[in-house]
Amino acid sequence: MLGFILRRFLNLIPVFIGATMLTFLVIQAAPGNFLDERKLDVRTTAATIERLERQFGLDKSLPEQYIRWLGNFVTGNLGISFDSNIAVWDLIAPKIANSAMLVFGELILLYLIAVPIGIYGAIRQYSLGDKVISLISYFFIGFPSFFLALLIIFALVSFKLQTGTFLLPVGGMTSENFDSLSFIGKFLDILWHIMAPMLALLIGDIAGLSRTFRAQMLEFLNQDFVRTARAKGLAERTVIYKHTLRNALTPFIAGIGGLLPAILSGAGFIEVVFNWPGLTPVFLEAINSQDIYVLLSTTAVSLVLLVIGNLISDFLLAVVDPRIRYF
């Protein structure tokens, strides 16, 4: 087991280095750097610029800068944000928590809702219900997530104008009086704020996942071992839930590990539209100000999560599929 984990880690080192190097090069290839804006400011003296350059290692050559960053990253130092002048980890950690809260909750609901819909679509294939669900999910797959989010905001604000009450808040993560709330009050407040962005995420994702799950179920329902199971006279419930569902679920369970990095970037546009203080807005800001270490370290953290996620996937796959043994 340990040997297997070690092997996987060793295999992923070149990918980690390659991906961070690619990101580093792309950021460097972008014209200008974060000091340009400071240089335009008349109050900044040449000495200040030089000091800043030295402080952030911008006076070094590119390979040196990269290696310095890599060395720091491995020892747990993610660098300093130019823009806010605090450690990158302190900047992104609370945002990662916010993003994770949104995506993690969404994923649980997603699987709880999409899998039963997929099963229904497969066992009642071409029934009226299946056709209606198929059509609706087809429709929502075509929606850009930010557009869906805008429509939800539009509906909620219209509702507010019509009736005078807020069904759900349409932006931010907390109310203005958040600090004065009790612990349970804070929890409920965030829960209330998370509903609208989560709904926006869910609608699109349910449409996608239920369709893939339906296809996966159908793939197995048409196979010989299912026919054999029926021929043996097994109850239809056993055939579906024990023989088909278990097989159909395998790739999805294995895929759970792959969702780990999605916890970082998954909510993407939704966070921007709903003003949710997650990682994507920070990333966007960092791009605008060319905050190298925020960009690089955020990408690197998501790569680390990808590695861990892949390991979890392998492990889960071995648990659900007795044919697979790594150890």
Partner 1 sequence: MSTSSLNPDAREGMAPYAKSRTQVVWEQFRKHQLALFGGMILLAMYIGTIFSPFISPYGLAEYSTSNITRFHPPTRVHFFDESGRLTAPFVYATKQDLDPVTFAQTFIDQKDIKCPVQFMMPRPDQPYNLFFLIPTNIRLFGVSQPCNIFIMGADLYGRDVFSRLWYGAAVSLTIGIFAVTLSTTLGLIFGGIAGYYGGWVDNVIMRLVEIIGAIPSLFLLLTLTSVLPQDLDPILVFYGIIFLLGFIGWGGLARTVRSQISALRESDMVQAATSLGAKEARIIGIHMLPITFSLLIVNLSLGIPSAILAESGLSFLGKGIREPYSSWGSMINQAQEGGFASIIYRPWMLIPGFFIVLAVLCWQFLGDGLRDAFDPRKRQ
Contacts with partner 1, residue ranges (CB under 8 A): 14-16, 18-19, 22-23, 26-27, 29-31, 138-139, 141-147, 150-151, 153-154, 157-158, 161, 170-171, 261-262, 264-265, 268-269, 272-275, 280, 283-284, 287, 290, 295, 298-299, 302-303, 306
- To partner 1, the closest distance from the beta carbon of 151 in angstroms equals 7
Contact 119, 245 (CB under 8 A): yes
- To partner 1, the closest distance from the beta carbon of 273 in angstroms equals 7
Which CB sits closer to partner 1, 148 or 239?
Answer: 148
Which CB sits closer to partner 1, 181 or 304?
Answer: 304
Which CB sits closer to partner 1, 28 or 228?
Answer: 28
Which CB sits closer to partner 1, 140 or 320?
Answer: 140
Which CB sits closer to partner 1, 48 or 134?
Answer: 134
**Other C-beta atoms lying within 10 Å of the C-beta of residue 297:** 26
252 burial level (CB within 10 Å; 0-12, 13-18, 19+) = middle
- To partner 1, the closest distance from the beta carbon of 326 in angstroms equals 20
Which CB sits closer to partner 1, 269 or 320?
Answer: 269
Residue with tokens 């690197």: 300
Contact 102, 198 (CB under 8 A): yes
Residue with tokens 């899998």: 115
- To partner 1, the closest distance from the beta carbon of 302 in angstroms equals 5
Which CB sits closer to partner 1, 72 or 275?
Answer: 275
- To partner 1, the closest distance from the beta carbon of 134 in angstroms equals 10
Q: Give bridge partners of residue 80 from the DSSP assignment.
A: 87
Using CA atoms, how far apart are residues 302 and 284, in angstroms rounded to an integer? 16
- C-alpha distances (whole Å) from 192 to each of 152, 170, 233, 254 are 15, 10, 50, 32
8 burial level (CB within 10 Å; 0-12, 13-18, 19+) = middle
Using CA atoms, how far apart are residues 301 and 73, in angstroms rounded to an integer? 9
- To partner 1, the closest distance from the beta carbon of 18 in angstroms equals 4
Q: Give bridge partners of residue 87 from the DSSP assignment.
A: 80
- To partner 1, the closest distance from the beta carbon of 262 in angstroms equals 8
